């Protein structure tokens, strides 16, 4: 055995050389891995070995380039020289894959002459998720093996395929039971059977007959999902090059486009996001071995909009749920909505009809809170009313077993006050799901003053298990996400009175990259949330709309009118007249507002509030704020989230604009955050700030 570099060693199993990579946690292609691979191939080629296996220790095959190296200068050897050495080696090289062969990892495997994999192994080019494209020949090699259509799908989604599919499409040559023995046996056979030293670059059969319409049709099919992102289009262009150009010219095109993406802010934002999402799981002061409550049964109180969706998350993960409503009618209505959601998914082919029954079978309904007695985690999702929530938590305290975690899905209320209604405030925590709760990934976990580490670790852990992106924050009105949203709402409301129609504000935010603007969002949520006809006094546009029967999408009209069939929104002159008349009564002078002002007045108060949230220690780090906004409200990921976006603009400029609006418009929300001022004077940033 020869230790080639700190992470790569060369071993021999009789006549087979094994280049073994051990670079935890994911065997990324760090400089010493590239060097080791290059040395390994060179030394194995000049040794007595007849064939070579590239294999990894640990949990996975190479999972890609080392993303942490992207910010520094390139370190030799580059990946291409490693790949050239492999492809041109005079002895057969077999890549032995377990875990995930991703990005540069798959691109290395594609330069072996053959590939074998174990069941459960996965193969993908996820660079698009980092705002990039596979920059080591993957864009030219993958289509040559899978055909352009499959490559388009894999490279624009970034999603891996499994071993079975990889075998079927020829990406791997054999499925083996035991990785090392199987790979070594294949390597010996390659020699005895004199298998050719196949180079994917020389193959053109799979791309030769690509239909001309493929690219146009594919672009149309992903347009909505990829709006605003550069990388999917760049990946498509590379596959076009693989079809239209020879290998070397295609490679050159790949390199040009890769460099373009790498230089841009989108890839920086998306790489930042990759680490941000992982950082959010690390809680200072919460040891990794903190005991958690095993959630064998979950209780959900309230089967309304949120309760039903929350229950679905658990049933989808195979965890039984007890859902309790105040009466049978509400319970049956709630369960009916859950069933029809599942049936809709099944009709679209997302799950089978057996899955529908299995999942419904995991949800048991009741009108007796006593049925929560055997639940390990109970999530309350009743109306947003403090008195009601306190009453309920007092009851839960009397019913739930010792050690159970008691969570509230409140969107804004004080978790400490809710906890005070119990004799076990340490067990009480906020678990704020976002609507629709079965779809949205965001989960704000809200710790109260007394919340125990066990409750925090349980909420974060179960959040991950049910496929959410949990972010921990502290107590304040609206927590991280809604508190910032309220600030945007204040300015958006003011601007419609000052002269910008709701549809224009919505359009500007849509163009910025949000799935919808504030008014379309209010219509979707329902304008009458929190509205009471008895106390309504026409004091806001929203109240006026509700009073005139406009409740949002659900009854066909709100800020917009909705087509009953397509749900397409059209602005209504009646609403505009209502707004104008209201502004006149308030003595507001209407004027022309520029697009730039609209954008700044919507987004800068959010940045300012995000900084205040950080300053108060409510969020642990700037990147947590970005994770909340990207996952919870569709802030465009390619800008990195509000904190990263503000850093990209320059905090000095952001501070100046906030101060400008503070002096011209006034209001607490424009009072500049001390953190922004400090970071400006220290040359610091918001996205890297951590408490």
Binding site for ligand NAI (CB under 6 A): 301-307, 324-326, 330, 334, 381-384, 392, 409-411, 432-435, 525
278 binds, among ligand 3HC, ligand NAI, none (CB under 5 to 8 A by kind): ligand 3HC
Residue 367 makes contact with ligand 3HC by CB under 6 A: no
Q: Which is nearer to ligand NAI, 103 or 334 (CB)?
A: 334
Q: How far is the CB of 586 from ligand 3HC (least distance, A)?
A: 51
Q: Rounded to the nearest whole angstrom, what is the least distance from the CB of residue 65 to ligand 3HC in the complex?
A: 3
Beta-strand runs (E) in 255-357:
298-301, 321-324
126 binds, among ligand NAI, ligand 3HC, none (CB under 5 to 8 A by kind): ligand 3HC
Q: Hey, which residues between 267 and 286 contact ligand 3HC (CB under 6 A)?
A: 275, 278
Q: How far apart are CA 456 and CA 445, in angstroms?
A: 8
Cβ proximity to ligand 3HC, 138 vs 232, nearer residue: 138
Map the footprint of ligand 3HC across residues 92-111, applying CB under 6 A: 100, 102-104, 107
Please tell me which residue in 87, 107, 444, 600 is annotated as part of the active site.
107
- Under the binding rule (CB under 6 A), the answer on residue 135 touching ligand 3HC is yes
Contact of 357 with 323, CB cutoff 8 Å:
no
Q: How far apart are CA 302 and CA 199, in angstroms?
A: 60
Give which of 567, 566, 565, 561 is closest to 548, Cα–Cα: 561
| Residue 117 to residue 106: CA distance in whole angstroms | 12
Euclidean distance between CA atoms 407 and 327, whole angstroms: 22
Q: Round to whole Å and give the CA distance between 658 and 449.
A: 32
> Tokens representing 398?
């009397």
Question: Among residues 69, 87, 127, 174, which one is catalytic?
Answer: 127
Residues in CB range of 676: below 8 A, 6 or more apart: 607, 608, 611, 651, 654, 655, 658, 686
Residue (64 or 448) nearer to ligand 3HC, CB: 64
Residue 301 vs 625, nearer CB to ligand NAI: 301
The option from ligand 3HC, ligand NAI, none interacting with 130 (CB < 5 to 8 A, set by class) reads ligand 3HC
Binding map of ligand 3HC across residues 58-87, x = CB under 6 A, - = no contact: --x--xxxxxx-------------------
Q: Which of 26, 274, 248 is nearest to 132 (CA)?
A: 274
Residue with tokens 């989108």: 266
Residue 66's binding partner out of ligand 3HC, ligand NAI, none, with CB under 5 to 8 Å set by partner kind: ligand 3HC
Between 293 and 392, CB nearer to ligand NAI: 392
Nearer to ligand 3HC, 66 or 543 (CB): 66
Find the shortest distance in angstroms from Cβ 412 to ligand NAI.
7
The whole-angstrom separation of Cα 621 and Cα 643 is 10
Residue 2, beta-bridge partner list: 10
292 binds, among ligand 3HC, ligand NAI, none (CB under 5 to 8 A by kind): none
Would you say 16 or 130 has its CB closer to ligand 3HC? 130
Q: Output the smallest distance, CB 558 to ligand NAI, in A.
A: 15
Contact by Cβ (8 Å): 687, 675: no
Secondary structure, 3-state, 34-83: HHHHHHHHHHHHCCCCCEEEEEECCCCCCCCECHHHCCCCCCCCCHHHHH
Answer with the entry of ligand NAI, ligand 3HC, none that 301 interacts with (C-beta below 5 to 8 A by kind): ligand NAI
Contact 522, 488 (CB under 8 A): no
Minimum gap (Å) between residue 303 Cβ and ligand NAI = 5
Check binding of 401 to ligand 3HC (CB under 6 A): no
CB of 64 to ligand 3HC, least distance (A): 2
- Minimum CB distance to ligand 3HC, residue 463 (Å): 14
Q: How far is Cα 423 from Cα 356, in angstroms, rounded to an integer?
A: 39
DSSP 211-279: -THHHHHHHHHHTTTTTT-SHHHHHHHHHHHHHHS-HHHHHHHHHHHHHHHHHSHHHHHHHHHHHHHHH
Q: How far is the CB of 430 from ligand 3HC (least distance, A)?
A: 25
Binding mask 627-646 vs ligand 3HC (x if CB under 6 A, - otherwise)?
--------------------
Residue 304 interacts with which of ligand 3HC, ligand NAI, none, CB < 5 to 8 Å by class: ligand NAI
Q: Which C-beta is closer to ligand NAI: that of 27 or that of 411?
A: 411
- Structural tokens at position 320: 């039984």
Q: How far is the CB of 536 from ligand NAI (least distance, A)?
A: 18
Considering the complex, what minimum distance in angstroms separates the CB of residue 392 from ligand NAI? 6
| Shortest distance in whole angstroms from residue 634 CB to ligand NAI | 14
Helix or strand run (H / E) with residue 176: strand 174-176
Judged by CB under 6 A, the stretch of 35-43, 135-143, 561-569, 637-645 that binds ligand 3HC is: 135-143
> Can you read off the two tokens belonging to residue 640?
């990195």
Q: Based on CB atoms, which residue is closest to ligand NAI, 383 or 586?
A: 383
Q: Are 187 and 51 in contact (CB under 8 A)?
A: yes
Residue pair 445/456 in contact by the 8 Å Cβ criterion: yes
Say whether the peptide bond before residue 25 is cis (omega within 30 degrees of 0): yes
Nearest CB to ligand NAI, comparing residues 386 and 581: 386
Of 95 and 381, which has the nearer Cβ to ligand NAI? Answer: 381
Residues 7-26 that bind ligand 3HC (CB under 6 A): 25-26
| 28 touching ligand 3HC, by CB under 6 A | yes
Q: How far apart are CA 104 and CA 82, in angstroms?
A: 11
* Residue 143 contacts ligand 3HC per CB under 6 A: no
Is residue 107 among the annotated active site residues?
A: yes
Question: Which residues 6+ apart lie within 8 Å of 566 measured at CB?
Answer: none
Residue 134 touches which of ligand 3HC, ligand NAI, none (Cβ within 5-8 Å per kind)? ligand 3HC
Of all residues in this chain, which one has the CB nearest to ligand NAI in the complex?
304
The dihedrals phi and psi of 150, each to the nearest 5 degrees, come to -65, -40
Question: Least distance from C-beta 632 to ligand 3HC, angstroms?
Answer: 21
For the chain, how are helix, strand and coil distributed in percent, rounded to 5?
Answer: 50, 15, 35
- Name every residue whose Cβ is closer than 8 Å to that of residue 173 and which is 6 or more positions away in sequence: 114, 115, 116, 167, 186
Q: Which residues of 325-351 are buried (b: 16+ CB within 10 A; e: fewer)?
A: beeeeebeebbebbbebbeebbeeeeb
Choose among ligand 3HC, ligand NAI, none what residue 525 binds, the Cβ cut-off being 5 to 8 Å by kind: ligand NAI
Count of residues touching ligand 3HC (by CB under 6 A): 24
What, of ligand 3HC, ligand NAI, none, does residue 326 touch, CB below 5 to 8 Å by kind? ligand NAI
Part in contact with ligand 3HC (CB under 6 A); list of ranges 124-132, 502-510, 614-622, 661-669: 124-132
Pick the closer one to ligand 3HC by CB: 127 or 528: 127
Reply yes or no on whether 329 is catalytic: no
First to last CA, the chain: 47
Q: Which residues does the annotation mark as catalytic?
A: 107, 127
| Positions in the binding site for ligand 3HC (CB under 6 A) | 25-26, 28, 60, 63-68, 100, 102-104, 107, 126-127, 130, 134-136, 138, 275, 278
């Amino acid at each position: 055995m020869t230790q080639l570099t700190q992470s790569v060693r060369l071993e021999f199993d009789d006549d087979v050389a094994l280049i073994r990579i051990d670079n935890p946690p994911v065997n990324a292609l760090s400089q010493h891995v590239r060097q080791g691979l290059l040395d390994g191939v060179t030394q194995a080629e000049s040794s007595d070995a007849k064939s070579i296996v590239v294999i990894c220790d640990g949990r996975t095959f190479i999972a890609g380039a080392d993303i942490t190296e992207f910010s520094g200068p390139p370190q030799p050897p580059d990946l291409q020289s490693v790949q050239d050495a492999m492809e041109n080696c005079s002895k057969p090289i077999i890549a032995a894959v377990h875990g995930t062969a991703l990005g540069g990892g798959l691109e290395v495997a594609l330069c072996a002459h053959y590939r074998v994999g174990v069941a459960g192994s996965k193969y993908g080019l996820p660079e698009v998720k980092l705002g990039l494209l596979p920059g080591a020949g993957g864009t030219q090699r993958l289509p040559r093996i899978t055909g352009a259509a499959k490559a388009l799908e894999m490279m624009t989604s970034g999603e891996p395929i499994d071993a079975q599919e990889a075998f079927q499409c020829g990406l791997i040559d054999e499925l083996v039971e035991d990785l090392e023995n199987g790979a070594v046996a294949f390597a010996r056979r390659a020699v005895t059977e004199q298998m050719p030293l196949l180079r994917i670059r020389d193959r053109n059969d799979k791309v030769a007959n690509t239909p001309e319409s493929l690219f146009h049709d594919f672009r149309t099919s992903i347009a909505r999902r990829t709006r605003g992102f550069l990388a999917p289009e760049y990946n498509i262009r590379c596959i076009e090059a693989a079809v239209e150009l020879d290998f070397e010219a295609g490679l050159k095109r790949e390199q040009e486009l890769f460099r373009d993406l790498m230089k841009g802010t989108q890839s920086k934002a998306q790489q930042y996001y990759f680490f941000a999402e992982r950082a959010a799981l690390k809680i200072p002061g919460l040891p990794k071995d903190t005991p958690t409550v095993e959630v064998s049964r979950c209780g959900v109180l309230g089967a309304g909009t949120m309760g039903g969706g929350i229950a679905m998350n658990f049933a989808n993960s195979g965890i039984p749920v007890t859902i309790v409503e105040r009466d049978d009618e509400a319970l049956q209505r709630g369960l009916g909505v859950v069933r029809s959601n599942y049936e809709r998914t099944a009709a679209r082919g997302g799950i089978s009809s057996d899955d529908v029954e299995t999942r419904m079978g995991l949800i048991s309904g009741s009108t007796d809170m006593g049925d929560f007695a055997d639940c390990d985690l109970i999530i309350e999702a009743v109306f947003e009313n403090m008195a009601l929530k306190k009453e309920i938590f007092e009851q839960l305290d009397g019913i739930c077993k010792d050690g159970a975690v008691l969570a509230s899905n409140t969107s804004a209320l004080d978790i400490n006050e809710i906890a005070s209604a119990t004799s076990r405030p340490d067990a009480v925590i906020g678990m704020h799901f976002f609507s629709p709760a079965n779809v949205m990934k965001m989960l704000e976990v809200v710790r109260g003053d007394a919340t125990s580490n066990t409750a925090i670790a349980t909420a974060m852990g179960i959040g991950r298990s049910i496929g959410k992106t949990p972010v921990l924050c502290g107590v304040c009105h609206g927590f991280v996400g809604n508190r910032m949203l309220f600030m945007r709402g204040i300015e958006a409301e003011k601007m419609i009175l000052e002269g910008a129609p709701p549809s224009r504000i919505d359009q500007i935010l849509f163009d910025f990259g949000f799935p919808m603007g504030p008014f379309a969002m209010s219509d979707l949520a329902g304008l009458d949330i929190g509205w009471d006809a008895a106390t309504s006094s026409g004091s806001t546009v929203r109240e006026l709309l509700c009073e005139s029967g406009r409740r949002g999408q659900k009854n066909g009209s709100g800020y917009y009118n909705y087509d009953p069939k397509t749900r397409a929104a059209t602005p209504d002159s009646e609403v505009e007249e209502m707004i104008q008349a209201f502004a006149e009564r308030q003595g507001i002078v209407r004027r022309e507002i520029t697009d730039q002002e609209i954008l700044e007045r919507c987004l800068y108060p959010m940045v300012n509030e995000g900084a205040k949230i950080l300053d108060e220690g409510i969020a642990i780090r700037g990147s947590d704020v970005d994770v909340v906004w990207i996952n919870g409200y569709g802030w465009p990921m390619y800008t990195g989230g509000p904190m990263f976006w503000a850093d990209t603009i320059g905090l000095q400029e952001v501070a100046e604009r906030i101060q400008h609006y503070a002096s011209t418009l006034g209001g607490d929300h424009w009072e500049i955050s001390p953190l922004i001022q400090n970071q400006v004077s220290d040359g610091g940033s918001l996205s890297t700030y951590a408490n």
